[in-house]
DNA sequence: TTTT
DNA sequence: TTTT
């Protein structure tokens, strides 16, 4: 039976996304994301940071490369994927990633606006969400929300 | 700034989905979904049921009509949408719905298999999720998982 | 069978929380929260804002009153609850709320620090989350994360 | 700033939970959970299963040991936690787990009822959720929903 | 190692 | 109006 495998994170990028162009022209971006919590132990405030490996494919990868930068606050939604391989000592190694299918920039507009210049984000998106005037995913000059399933043609909101 | 508006439900359908074909050929399905919790009060087990109005658009609506039936257990993911209007007494009225963009049937296969007959679900889905062999959303004879953004052509997994 | 009824929102408060002290000494805070999305229609960027009624009970209500203010960006996790009543015209009226059991302030520290002065948040929280040094929920001078289930005594992190 | 680190899974246990009693009397249960998706490739239905390491602490661990068994369908909510260590070859090794703070049994009652006998689950839970008659988490003879934050005394719903 |  |  089908199951559910969903991850929701809000955190800051530890580095700029690193992009790779795979065979077949598929793009893959990856970056570390930190989620911190604070608790109090013996009267001291303690921060505990968890690091996540985020992976983004295809059109989303290109958007990630362009708009997500080190230090930015971002909401990420995706699924867990654990890869395994045998290392040269013959040990089974595991690496768990969050394959993002949706992300949204949070924080001040000035934190994530298009440094390069123009602001004409938002392209020829077609309406898919409802009765003629709603939409599921959108990109704008403040708040950038993009999804893995979006069709490259009408998706790249820029 | 963009925000996040996400609802995750697991519950049973109170009725079969009701489908309407809107102007423009858009389909809309709607059904009530019950989520129950149990707690103990004064030594008695008490059930508290919450009812949700679920709305599904377009291709997903057709899938909902075909596969979701009264009593079935389903995972629903969507967003809150509150509509308002003035009633004939001039009062502002509100109605909150969950606009689903993804659902998955849970429970036994016998609970949700295609009563009508053939099992040849799973169509010409193209790969969109990754490096050539993963996929985000899938439909199959057990476990039906569908999404609002899917392209009707490669989406209807049947 | 038990179900799941979960709401996840990230948005801005439309007003300061309004607090009420119920019979029995229970506190209840409520406030409107806006989640916006942007989409492009006919070449124009359009914002669509959804308003949610957030309700917070008990110790969390007091924290909400103290730290959440109009305009602040907040992550809210909770459940849907629809109340109904008959209005004076005899119509059935419905009102859907999000009963929060967890919230976290997002955004700049300067956006939500204790204006009054001291920073001695984080009180006698006991460790509940793990092997002796982790915690599920925490409050701090940046990033305030609180939960409904927390015991008032060790919960009010201030 | 505080972040969000949330995982939501629905899947089947691959094994019975394994329980360990740590120093200090803290219990820890762990088990593998499978989440499957189906997609169609070259006309063939393909199943892709992801395995997750679930960890449960304290009172929840004892409940998990008692009620969660191999093959059962369960909803799990928790957070990601990656542990690292150096192996004997001096390589950095990583292991990512989902630390559950909430789970709910799904599926038929017959799938998860108390095989041993009595049904007197539901204990002296106190009301914590609201205005005097609601509750956030509950356990019952059908539908078992438990949370990490619950006080052991009123939590063990059995 | 689950489930269908 | 569901489910157990």
Chains with ≥3 CB–CB distances under 8 Å to C? A, B, D
pLDDT at residue B146 in the model = 82
- A1: pLDDT strictly greater than 90: no
Asked whether the beta carbons of residue C11 and residue B34 sit closer than 8 angstroms, the reply is no
Shortest alpha-carbon distance between residue C40 and chain A (Å)? 6
D145 pLDDT band, cuts 50/70/90, is confident
Q: Measured between alpha carbons, how far is A69 from A64 in angstroms, rounded to an integer?
A: 8
- pLDDT tens sequence across A50-109: 999 999 999 999 999 999 999 999 999 999 999 999 988 888 899 999 999 999 999 765
* Lowest-pLDDT range of A34-38, B124-128, D38-42, D110-114: B124-128
Mean pLDDT of chain D: 77
Residues having Cβ less than 7 A from any atom in strand F: B 11-15, 32, 34, 36, 47, 49, 51, 70-71, 73; C 1; D 108-110, 113, 142-143
The residues, any chain, with a CB within 8 Å of residue C81's CB and separated by 6 or more, are B50, C55, C96, C97, C98, C99, D134
> Hey, which residues 118-147 in chain A have their CB within 8 Å of chain C?
121-125, 127, 133-135, 137-143, 145
Chains with ≥3 CB–CB distances under 8 Å to B? A, C, D
Report the largest interatomic distance among the alpha carbons of chain D, rounded to a whole angstrom: 59
Q: Residue C23 has what DSSP assignment?
A: G
Measured between CB atoms, does B32 come within 8 Å of chain C?
A: no
Chains with ≥3 CB–CB distances under 8 Å to D? A, B, C
- pLDDT tens sequence across C100-136: 999 999 976 555 454 433 222 222 222 333 333 333 3
Mean pLDDT of chain C: 77
- Residue C44: enclosing H or E segment and its boundaries? strand C44-57
Residue in A1, A22, A101 nearest the CB of B142: A1
CA–C1' D84–F1 (A): 50
Measured between CB atoms, does A69 come within 8 Å of chain B?
A: no
CATH number listed for the domain at residues B7-144: 2.40.50.140
Residue in B9, B38, B73 nearest the CB of C5: B9
Measured between CB atoms, does D1 come within 8 Å of chain C?
A: yes
Measured between CB atoms, does D22 come within 8 Å of chain A?
A: no
Asked whether the beta carbons of residue C122 and residue A8 sit closer than 8 angstroms, the reply is no
CA–C1' C78–E2 (A): 30
The residues, any chain, with a CB within 8 Å of residue C66's CB and separated by 6 or more, are C158
**Residue B109 approaches strand E within 7 Å at CB:** yes
Q: Which of the nucleotides in strand E have any atom less than 7 Å away from a protein CB atom?
A: 1-4
Residue nearest to nucleotide E2 (CA to C1'): D14
Contacts of B83 in chain C (CB under 8 A): none
Q: Measured between alpha carbons, how far is C139 from D56 in angstroms, rounded to an integer?
A: 23
For residue B25, the SS3 value is helix
Which residue in A112, A126, A138 has the most chain C C-beta atoms within 10 A of its own C-beta, making it the best mutation to test that interface? A138
Contacts of D47 in chain B (CB under 8 A): 140
Best CA proximity match to A61, nearest among A6, A13, A99, A10: A99
- A19: pLDDT strictly greater than 90: yes
CA–C1' B62–F2 (A): 21
Q: Measured between alpha carbons, how far is C62 from C74 in angstroms, rounded to an integer?
A: 16
The residues, any chain, with a CB within 8 Å of residue B28's CB and separated by 6 or more, are A131, B19, B20, B21, B22, B55, B56, B57, B61
The residues, any chain, with a CB within 8 Å of residue B123's CB and separated by 6 or more, are B154, B156, B157, B158, D40
Q: Domain ranges in chain D? A: 7-144
Contacts of C131 in chain D (CB under 8 A): 22, 26, 28, 57
Q: Measured between alpha carbons, how far is B96 from C8 in angstroms, rounded to an integer?
A: 16
- pLDDT tens sequence across B44-66: 989 999 999 999 999 999 999 99
Shortest alpha-carbon distance between residue B45 and chain A (Å)? 29
Query: For the purposes of burial, counting CB atoms within 10 Å of the CB of C140, is it exposed (0-12), middle (13-18) or buried (19 or more)?
Result: buried
Shortest alpha-carbon distance between residue B14 and chain A (Å)? 22
- pLDDT tens sequence across C27-40: 999 999 999 998 88
- pLDDT tens sequence across D51-108: 999 999 999 999 999 999 999 999 999 999 999 999 988 988 999 999 999 999 997 6
pLDDT at residue C110 in the model = 56
Question: Which residue of chain B has the CA closest to C34?
Answer: B3
Residue B99's φ and ψ, nearest 5 degrees, are -85, 110
For residue C93, the SS3 value is strand
Residue D119's φ and ψ, nearest 5 degrees, are -115, 15
pLDDT at residue A113 in the model = 52
């Amino acid at each position: 039976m089908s199951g559910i495998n969903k991850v929701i994170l809000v955190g800051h990028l530890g580095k700029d996304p690193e992009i790779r162009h795979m065979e077949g022209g598929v793009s893959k971006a990856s970056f570390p994301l930190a989620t911190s919590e604070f608790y109090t132990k013996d009267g001291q405030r303690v921060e505990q940071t968890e690091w996540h490996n985020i992976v983004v494919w295809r059109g989303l990868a290109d958007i990630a490369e362009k708009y997500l930068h080190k230090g930015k606050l971002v909401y990420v939604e995706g699924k867990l994927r654990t890869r395994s391989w045998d290392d040269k000592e013959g040990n089974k190694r595991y690496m768990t990633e969050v394959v993002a299918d949706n992300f949204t920039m949070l924080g001040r507009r000035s934190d994530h606006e298009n440094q390069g210049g123009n602001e004409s984000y938002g392209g020829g998106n077609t309406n898919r969400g409802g009765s003629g005037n709603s939409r599921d995913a959108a990109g704008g000059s403040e708040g950038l929300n993009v999804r893995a399933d979006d069709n490259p043609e009408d998706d790249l909101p820029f």
